[in-house]
Every structure is written in structure tokens, then in C-alpha cells.
Amino acid sequence: MHIPVKNIKIHPAKQTGGENYKPRDQIYVRKVTGFFQQLRQKMNFFFLAAFALLPWLQYNGHQAILFDIMEQRFTLWGLTLWPQDLTLLAWLFILSAFLLFFVTTFMGRVWCGYLCPQTVWTFIFIWFEEKIEGSANQRKKLDSQKMDFNKFWRKALKHFCWLAFSVLTALTFVGYFVPMQEVFVDFFTFNASFAAAASVWFFAFCTYGNAGWMREIMCLHMCPYARFQSAMFDKDTVTVSYDAKRGENRGARSRKQDPKKLGLGDCIDCNLCVQVCPTGIDIRNGLQYECINCGACVDACNGVMEKMNYAKGLIRYTTEHELQGKKVHLVRSKLIGYAVVLVIMTSLLVVEIANRVPVSLDIIRDRNALARENINGEVENVYTLKILNKSQTDNVYRLSVKGIPNARWIGDREVTVKAADVYTLPISIAVDPYELSEFITDISFVVEQISTDSDVKLEHQSRFFNKR
């Protein structure tokens, strides 16, 4: 079979030394008001306040939320998690991931636009810019000017505010892992440990760099969520979209002119949707992975439509099927699948928490001698019991052993273990050799909480060795 080949002459683009690489243009985000921006600001304020206040809350005399890595103890209100309970944290992370998948399939990338810390802190830093340097046009003009006193003090004050807010952010974040009152007092009195101080300055530097300088770079080039979100999108996913059928052709006109007579659509090509976008994209070019669904372009366009006496919604939250005039399926198999998985995983998490025993027992045998004969002629095994009280109250526990008849317990039988503490108890088990029929006998240590309103009981397997 003969395939005809056609030669195509390619004209290479002219290149000059200065055009081989073009750094990113700085984005001067223009301020916009509207329903979605008010919603975003209120949500940002609520979660920012929660982030700042939660580490300060006390519960039963201790910090309500504390992920104490040094002590290997995570406290969540009335629940204390230890390394043995990390499966619960794994369940929480997996559940959060599937919840994010569910929301993304339904509402697109709204997490990025409304709740992502990178977006929240970026808008906070932009707020400092607006208050100190002025509007987007004023900031752009200021940056183009030579350094003078006016520019110097404004830039200095802006970066000081950025750094101060970054340090407060870092202190609050570190306060989730180190007792909050301790880290605040020690940091400002220069008594903080090297690890604590280094952590604060590291996270302050990251906050200052990410929200102050990198901004959209984090969203466009470093965030993995932007890369795999398309796997969750479908034609019924609600995203910020431009109605091209209604908006094209674009063109400027006065409010008194009829766009139909001019052969124009509703878009007046004002570019406000680009100027207010924190990632600097033009939503009119179609759905792009850089869009974070913050709704800034929606509010900006609705404001223009209102001034032009046109119907709002040229740019709006909608679906691809709706733009095509097709039926929208809000309830669909993918959403149902995610919902079913969420219900199952939530149920399993609740069951695991409900069945969690708030005490743990580790048994360490004496390695020097498996068994020995005491002065009474009994076979004696030595053990070290480590009793971990996972609850947040002091408890008394009764200890016993079963598996060998008439076994004699040498040591304390009742111990008091403080809240979220480990009690180490050395004990011995002595048995008449006539009670032992084998060299190794399986036994069980039993821990029971002595309380009128609790039936906590734990059994832990071990072995008893006979003398050869």
C-alpha cells in the first residue's frame, strides 16, 4: 500500500538572546466584591479563627488538641491516641481523602478556592498589600518606580507585616505539637529549645515564601491535587465556566447600544475576569487546571453585567452538560460510589473507636533466665509488665494470670496508673512443677479496671517455661 508523503516547510521562529527564557510576570490581583467573595472571606475567617484558637482550648486540665511527637501521644479532646492506635489516624486520613474526592467530583476544585491554606494565606497577604501599597494599579505603578522614601517605607512595612503574620502562624502551628502556652512564652523569652525555635522559624519562612512570593506557583507547579483532579471530573461536575454561546463575539460597546445589532455577544472584553484571578488565567479560554474555583471572576463579571443591564451568569458555576443544553445528572454512579465508600469507612471508624480498649499491656520476659527454681521448690518465671493507661483519668487496675492452676503471683496485684501514663511493674509467677506437664505452657495476663461504671478488661498472651 502506497502512502503519499507531503513535505511541509517549517519556518522556525526567530529567537533572540533575551527571549529564550521569560520569567513569570507578577500577578497584581485586583480587588473584587460579590457574593462568592463574601462567602469565601467568611469561611476563611471561620477556619482561620479555628486554627488560631483550637490549640489554646483546655479539656480536663490539658490541651484539647495536642500531637505530642516527643511523647508519642496524640490528644483529641477526650481521646488519647498512642502508636498502637495509629490505625485510627490512618482511617481518618483515608476518610478525608475520599471526602475530598467526593466534593471534587460534585463541585470541582472548591477546596482550593475556599479552604486551602495556600489560598487563604495568599489572600491575607494580598490584603496587607492593598492596605499598605494600594490597589492593583497603584501597586504595579509603585513597583515600576525607582526606590525612594515612599516606596521604601511601604515595602518595608509590608514585609514586616508578612513576617510578623508568618511568625504567628508558625507559632500556632508548632503549638499543635508542643504545648501552646509553653512554646509562646519560651519563644518570646528566648528560652525555647533549639528544635522548637528552629521549627517556628522554618514554618515562618515557608509561610512567608509561599504566600508572599510563590503564591500561584504553588498551585500551578507544585500542588499534586491540580494534576490528578481531572481524573475525578466529568461533564456533570460543577465548575466555574464561561458561557461562550452567550458571550461571543466579544467587543466593547456602550450601555445604550444593542449588542445584537453590532453582532456582539454579552462579553464586553473588559478583562476584569483576568485581573481578579489569583492564578492569572483567562476563564474564557475554557476549563483549565490552573482554575481554583474561587469564584472571583464570577463576581467580577456579574458586576459588569449588572452595570450593562445584562443578565448575570455569563461566567458562573455550572456544568459542561448545562452549557451544551443537555440534562444535568447531579446524582450519578461516581458520586454514589464515593458516598457508599464514605459511609462504609465512617462506620468502620466508629466501630473501631467504640471497640477500642483504653488500656494496653506489654509483657517483657527476663532474658537472662527463662526459668529458675526458688527456695520453695517452685518453678519461677520473671516478667516486666508495662501498663499503658490510654484514658485521660487516673485508674486503678487489678492484675491476674490464668492458664496454669494454682499459679502464685509475686508482686503487686493492684496498681494505680496516671492518665496517659505508663506504669512499669516487675513481677514473678511461681508454679509447683507437678502442675506443669510440658516445657512451655501458654498463659494469659489479665488487666481489669476497678471501677463501678466501667468494665474495661484486657487479656495478653504469654508463655511460662519449665526447668529442663
CATH number for 384: 2.60.40.10
Asked if 276 and 197 sit in the same domain, the reply is no
What one-letter code names the amino acid at 419? A
Count of structural domains within the chain:
3
209 Cα distance to chain centroid: 19
Is 396 a domain residue? yes
The answer to which of 137-141, 250-254, 272-276, 285-289 has the lowest mean pLDDT is 285-289
Query: Cβ-count burial of 320 within 10 angstroms (0-12 exposed, 13-18 middle, 19+ buried)?
Result: middle
Whether the per-residue pLDDT at 155 is higher than 60: the answer is yes
| 378-419 residue pLDDT tens | 999 999 999 999 888 889 999 999 999 889 999 999 999 998
Alpha-carbon gap, residue 450 to 466, rounded angstroms? 32
The pLDDT, as a whole number, for residue 16 is: 39
Question: What b/e readout covers 405-421, taking b as 16+ CB neighbours within 10 angstroms?
Answer: eebeeeeeeebebeebe
| 41 shares its domain with 179 | yes
Residue 270 has pLDDT above 50, yes or no: yes
Q: Is 350 within a domain?
A: no
Q: Nearest Cα to 294, choosing from 101, 129, 116?
A: 116
**What's the average model confidence in pLDDT over 334-342?**
91
Last residue of one domain, picked from the residues 195, 230, 265:
230
Distance separating alpha carbons of residues 274 and 285, to the nearest angstrom:
11
CB 336 within 8 A of CB 344: no
241 in the same domain as 220: no
Residue 299 lies in a domain: yes
Quote the pLDDT of residue 18. Answer: 41
Q: Name the residue range of residue 280's domain.
A: 234-323
- Tell me whether residue 22 is in a domain: no
pLDDT at 20: 45
Contacts 24+ apart (CB under 8 A), 235-238: 235/319, 235/320, 235/321, 236/319, 236/320, 236/321, 236/328, 236/329, 236/330, 236/332, 237/104, 237/105, 237/106, 237/107, 237/108, 237/319, 237/320, 238/106, 238/107, 238/108, 238/317, 238/318, 238/319
Last residue of a domain, one of 172, 204, 230: 230
Q: Please determine, for residue 21, whether its predicted confidence score (pLDDT) is greater than 60.
A: no
Question: Residue by residue, what is the 3-state secondary structure of the chain?
Answer: CCCCCCCCCCCCCCCCHHHCCCCCCCCCCCCCCCHHHHHHHHHHHHHHHHHHHHHHCEECCEECEEEECCCCEEEECCEEECHHHHHHHHHHHHHHHHHHHHHHHHHCCHHHHHHCHHHHHHHHHHHHHHHHHCCHHHHHHHHHCCCCHHHHHHHHHHHHHHHHHHHHHHHHHHCCCCCHHHHHHHHHCCCCCHHHHHHHHHHHHHHHHHHHHHCHHHHHHHCCHHHHHHHCCCCCCCEEEECHHHHCCCCCCCCCCCHHHHCCCCCCCCCHHHHCCCCCCCHHHCCCCCCCCCCHHHHHHHHHHHHCCCCCCCEEEECHHHHCCCCCCCCCHHHHHHHHHHHHHHHHHHHHHHCCCCEEEEEEECCCCCCEECCCCCEEEEEEEEEEECCCCCEEEEEEEECCCCCEEECCCEEEECCCCEEEEEEEEEECHHHCCCCEEEEEEEEEECCCCCCCEEEEEEEEECCC
How much is the pLDDT for 224?
A: 84
If pLDDT is split at 50, 70 and 90, which confidence band does 4 have? low
pLDDT band at 213 (very low <50, low <70, confident <90, very high): very high
* Residue 226 sits in the same domain as residue 240: no
| Residue 102 within a domain | no
Residue 24 has pLDDT above 70, yes or no: no
Residues of the chain above pLDDT 70, percent: 94
Distance CA(299)–CA(33), nearest Å, equals: 7
The grid cell for 172 is 500556632
Supply the pLDDT for residue 428: 95
Residues 170 and 249 in one domain: no
Q: Are residues 290 and 435 in the same domain?
A: no
Does residue 190 share a domain with residue 49? yes
Question: Do 127 and 41 reside in the same domain of the chain?
Answer: yes
Q: In terms of domains, do 226 and 249 share one?
A: no
Residues 189 and 44 in one domain: yes
Question: Which range is least confidently modeled, 6-10, 214-218, 328-332?
Answer: 6-10
pLDDT of residue 12: 46
Cα distance between residue 289 and residue 287, in whole Å:
7
**Residue 207 included in any domain:** yes
Q: Could you tell me if residue 172 is inside a domain?
A: yes
Compute how many other C-beta atoms are within 10 angstroms of the C-beta atom of residue 21.
Answer: 6
Three cell numbers, residue 236: 456533570
Same domain, 225 and 239: no
Q: Which of 305, 323, 341 is the last residue of a domain?
A: 323
Same domain, 208 and 243: no
pTM score of the predicted model: 0.81
14: in domain:
no
Q: Cell numbers for 81, please give them.
A: 491516641
